[in-house]
Amino acid sequence: MTTDELTEIGVTPESIAIAVSTAPCSWVATVDEEIVGFAMVDLDSGCLFALFVLPEHEGRGIGTRLTHACESALFERHPAAWLETAQDSRAAQLYRYLGWGHEVEIGGGDVRLEKQRPVTASSP
């Protein structure tokens, strides 16, 4: 998305700074002290808001680890999490592989995916 498109939906440098400073909602992945990936969730809505890995670092499990960090934070507060992404993207393939489903087309080639909090075995 362009800066203007992000601003239209309320995503500004200021709104990101507030979100990051008020809750554990963002993560970076590093390789040799270089940031190669980034992820962020909206803890209030239960949304995996953003997840990006530099193209030259794709296929190394970085996106999977970032997704798991996001899921962990979201499932502490919500029974289900959701995200929106391009239907035919590599990201969508990764999310589907990691168990995101209940796919709904939302227009413009995008889909909404959801994932339920895993059920844990109860202690006897």
Instruction: Kindly indicate the confidence band of residue 112, based on its pLDDT and cuts at 50, 70 and 90.
Output: very high
Tell me which long-range contacts 33-36 makes (C-beta under 8 A, separation of at least 24).
36/62
What CATH number should be reported for the domain holding residue 21? 3.40.630.30
The yes-or-no verdict on residue 123 having pLDDT over 50 is no
pLDDT digits (tens, 9 = 90+) for 59-92: 999 999 999 999 999 999 999 999 999 999 999 9
Range of the domain at 69: 3-116
Residue 43 domain flag:
yes
pLDDT at 101: 96
pLDDT digits (tens, 9 = 90+) for 10-62: 777 787 777 777 767 889 899 999 999 999 999 989 999 889 899 999 999 99
CB 67 within 8 A of CB 111: no
pLDDT at 63: 95
**φ/ψ (deg, to 5) at 93:** -60, -45
pLDDT at 61: 95
Q: Which residues contact 5 (CB under 8 A, 6 or more apart)?
A: none
The domain tally of the chain equals 1
Global pTM reads 0.81
The yes-or-no verdict on residue 122 having pLDDT over 50 is yes
Question: Rounded CA gap, 110 and 88, in Å?
Answer: 8
Residue 33 domain flag:
yes
CB 65 within 8 A of CB 98: no
Residue 64 domain flag:
yes
**φ/ψ (deg, to 5) at 110:** -105, 155
